[in-house]
Structure 1
């Protein structure tokens, strides 16, 4: 990905690293992995860390990291965290409202058109948000 983004041919990169074009082709196809000294040379040439070069994909295969410059949490992990936190905050607020403002809790209960009262619907929505957030977080870690 770095080679293509830089507009280099396999032959041009091979010359820079003192390897054959076939070696570059094997590295890119995943049939072989560069030796440590070549990995260091690649990281220096493209000005990236070894960690950036050696990220694993979801199948456990070594893959170059994305070259979009993003680091840290993925969008899926952020969405999962937001859902979990929103669900937890909802549960806390629902509990506080139920304790300190029972009339508001009663209004929520009466506002539901379903047999489950409004409090039950709010509770279900919060728990579902936490579960969905946890699932997204777990999938984002893979």
Structure 2
């Protein structure tokens, strides 16, 4: 989706006319029309105002991406972190049990500790 298409979509979603949006930004209706037709693009100051007015980032506004809700991205991040931690814990315990079965060899324990600290970061002091 182009910037113009995105701006048109956002404006219509708010039920605004080009005149009303232009009045909010201190520009003419013709200027808003040119933006929506991708004939011109607004200056940085107007992009900032547009982003704030419509509640989207400038990046989303210019690239035309639908902004993902904060809750969705947070949930995804939590799920990825849980999956990583679960995998690391499984590897840790498998190697630990292998160390115990093999007679408590010190070398296996050292390897387990190294892998654990590499995957989970060293504790901060």
TM-score by length of 1: 0.41
Higher helix share: 2
TM-score by length of 2: 0.46
